[in-house]
Amino acid sequence: MKKLQIQISDAAHSELLKIQLERKVNKEPRTTIVEIASDVLENTLVKDKKDISAK
């Protein structure tokens, strides 16, 4: 794992907070903003890689 510091928009931060609330309500793991941002970034990159491979 590599550590990365990023800046995000207020809108992106709001979306992360929504995901955080949803995970906490559903008692899911990985509920910190850092963990959620990591999951979102990783899932987005993996999805993009699959989309590119399918072309």
pLDDT value of position 38 = 94
Does residue 37 fall inside a structural domain?
yes
Does residue 17 fall inside a structural domain?
no
pLDDT value of position 39 = 95
- Domain containing residue 41: 31-55
Whether the predicted pLDDT of 54 surpasses 90? no
Q: What would the pLDDT profile of 1-52 be if each residue is shown by its tens digit?
A: 888 899 999 999 999 999 999 999 999 999 999 999 999 999 999 887 777 7
Q: Which residues are CB-contacts of 35 (< 8 A; sequence separation ≥ 6)?
A: none
Does residue 50 fall inside a structural domain?
yes
Query: Domain tally for the chain?
Result: 1
Does residue 40 fall inside a structural domain?
yes
pLDDT value of position 11 = 97
- 11 residue type, one letter: A
- 37 compared with 53, residue with greater pLDDT: 37
Total H helices, total E strands in the chain:
2, 0
